[in-house]
Structure 1
């Protein structure tokens, strides 16, 4: 492997540091999931599960509202400055929730946490600090950090609850957010050039194109439904596990740990089949069917410990597979010049799903009981299944990015047409303002970068 084919030490350090920031923020959101509902019920007004669901989902609403403004502001005021502001807001929300002695204040704290919506800014900074040929690898590293963080949160949450309680967990995440500011300041270099990146950032001008694409809308509904059902589940399952197992919530990690190990192991072959064998639609359909079965299992066996364990295992196998393949499907489906915007809309749909799932799960649980929650989730899965059945199979393509020569003054349209005519190229766009060429290439093609590089360099 040549030097140019490897990430530089600066690129690697920057990506790992920013992945840790992204993971830390997710950790602060997810650590409380397995134990919060039980804790919240002991607070004033916490007996009403609507408030529990609102506390769980509140950050999703503010995150959805502030993601795009933070990203746009970072183009004007600087990536690091906006990350500092976001982390300070997140820390403030964590401290508010940690010092709360009633459910209403925790809801406010969670909403403040979500308002520190730095995810899009982190992605833009990664793009600033990595060469085009390593961008996909860097984003994949961040994706892996999110998956690991989520799995760890289900195991660490109950353990930390035993040592420092839910209030302590909130305070801890606030302190870690403040320490992350030092990480950004001293470990992440300042980019030499900070520019807009259409592959990672959303632009309002492209929203119309993305929102009119029915295939992308199917994926957006899917991520909404997935996270709505996920958040609604955590309004109910902690209570059901405690009641049926006799275990304290502090010991629930013993249930989640083997479930997460099994689901992670099952995820790998599904991803390989979907990506390498170009079977993404089939994997989608199978995974959504499995999710539907999990919701039916929860509804029918919520009073049986082993029934809940079986339903949780089935749920997280499908959940982890879908979490892994859906971003890939968005990248394959979105027009090249609208990829960042499509990802932005996708992430907003995910955040709205978190909010709607928390509120709906809380209200249904308080009004109609546990079974109604899983009936709601089952309907979402059924609608999603219909949507997946009628969607086009994502194209078997991969993205390739190349850097244009500095000061490029050639005919971008002609170069794009010439590149599009190369064998294996499905879509081509030349972006002089970003100094970049992006191609969608047939995964089965015997690809050779040399022809592209020769054309680009003239």
Structure 2
């Protein structure tokens, strides 16, 4: 008889519902990513590359700033009211951005969007409603919803922009956030008694002081975790900076913004198929490190390819955009799983909070980097800066230790075992 622990019906519904809520919110965020850099061109201030980069990245800065306070508030006030409030703040920012008549107002709207930082609270809510034995699978469902949101946004954002403009996209993002808030409001906060479960879900923390007993510094200096946090920071920075450059490249090669989906869709399908063999190989052999390092190297080589291919025609440009998607999607799939496996058992929540904050700061840094490099050196400056960042990340990633095969009984090492 199999002793594999499965989702209870309540856990399955909760995981699907929270994944859908998270996906709707992220879809609202990602929808503007492929079109924002070109879509603001007619606004006052829309010709300032540094301001465009700030509009792309300011969301990440305010999200990083408010993520931990929202998480602490959810411990004291309850998950649902805090998540609903955060989603409504995000919606308000979306509506402000939709009404913007200048890039300055749009930047303020994007900053308000980021202030609705509910990622930590949603993750904590999911942890409250699932047992430890199935929590990794529940978190993986959230990760899948984020990946799907990114893919869908790249495909549908350009034609939606062509039909309704940037205002319509921001109105849609606000509407999606409100739908997500309604979904959270309908959710149950406690699972029913279920005889099939082997342990009770963890109760939510009720006192902020309990968070203070968990020290963050050992996690920040953990020899493996800081490399992974640097990784997600670098990956998000490169992603945001590249979406300053990629839409502009397509437009200069004669592909109108509303038709960019015709390039993104086949490239994303190829990228999805391309990441499956290395992931399956890594899982089967327990050899994650070479796949991880290879993906970082692929992204670095792609930056060199962009430097050569820029202005050389649509064909070479498509090749390197496709390779970029392969490397990016592969690393985005590997990083959160690696963090959850490396983090000490009693501090996974805090470790993932630091990871999410690093991710948000990367979004901000990438937007700023992309805008400043575009202003000073054009798209070549963006490719060169991203290449240097990836080279530094690659050197630091050499210190990562192999994870080995997954084991249902595997536990994370204590902090004391981590080297400098």
TM-score (norm 1): 0.83
The answer as to 2:221 corresponding to 1:222 is no
Instruction: Report the CA distance between 1:208 and its aligned residue.
Output: 1.1
The answer as to 2:144 corresponding to 1:144 is yes
The answer as to 2:243 corresponding to 1:234 is yes
Correspondence for 2:275 among 263, 267, 270 = 267
Instruction: Report the CA distance between 1:166 and its aligned residue.
Output: 1.2
Q: What is aligned with 2:196?
A: none
Q: What is aligned with 1:73?
A: 73
Contact 1:158–1:251 (CA under 8 A) maintained in structure 2: yes
The answer as to 2:258 corresponding to 1:250 is yes
CA distance in 2, matches of 1:178, 1:162: 24
How do residues 143-292 of structure 1 correspond to structure 2 at under 5 angstroms?
143-186=143-186, 188-191=187-190, 194-196=203-205, 205-244=214-253, 246-292=254-300
CA distance in 2, matches of 1:277, 1:285: 16
The structure where strand makes up a greater share of residues is 1
The answer as to 2:363 corresponding to 1:364 is no
Q: 1:106 to 1:399 in 2, by over 3 A?
A: farther
Correspondence for 1:343 among 317, 342, 352 = 352
Q: 1:342 to 1:395 in 2, by over 3 A?
A: farther
Unaligned runs of 5+ in 2: 192-201, 415-420
Q: What is aligned with 1:293?
A: 301
Aligned residues: 400
Instruction: Report the CA distance between 1:368 and its aligned residue.
Output: 1.6
Instruction: Report the CA distance between 1:148 and its aligned residue.
Output: 0.7
CA distance in 2, matches of 1:345, 1:395: 24
Q: What is aligned with 1:314?
A: 323
Question: 1:389-439, CA deviations, whole angstroms, 9 ceiling, x for partnerless residues?
Answer: 233223544465xxxxxxxxxxxxxxxxxxxxxxxx55589xxxxxxxxxx
CA distance in 2, matches of 1:168, 1:88: 18
**Structure having greater relative contact order (Cα 8 Å, sep ≥ 6):** 2
CA distance in 2, matches of 1:167, 1:203: 42
Instruction: Report the CA distance between 1:253 and its aligned residue.
Output: 0.1
Query: Greater CA deviation, 32-41 or 283-292?
Result: 32-41
3-state SS of the aligned residue for 1:117? coil
Correspondence for 1:389 among 383, 398, 401 = 398
CA distance in 1, matches of 2:127, 2:4: 17
3-state SS of the aligned residue for 1:191? coil
Unaligned runs of 5+ in 1: 401-424, 430-458
Contact 2:79–2:125 (CA under 8 A) maintained in structure 1: yes
Query: Greater CA deviation, 129-138 or 171-180?
Result: 129-138
Question: 1:31-51, CA deviations, whole angstroms, 9 ceiling, x for partnerless residues?
Answer: 111111111121111101111
- Higher radius of gyration, 1 or 2: 1
Instruction: Report the CA distance between 1:320 and its aligned residue.
Output: 0.5
Question: 1:64-120, CA deviations, whole angstroms, 9 ceiling, x for partnerless residues?
Answer: 111111111111000001011101100000000011011111111111111101111
Query: Greater CA deviation, 99-108 or 122-131?
Result: 122-131
Q: What is aligned with 2:16?
A: 16
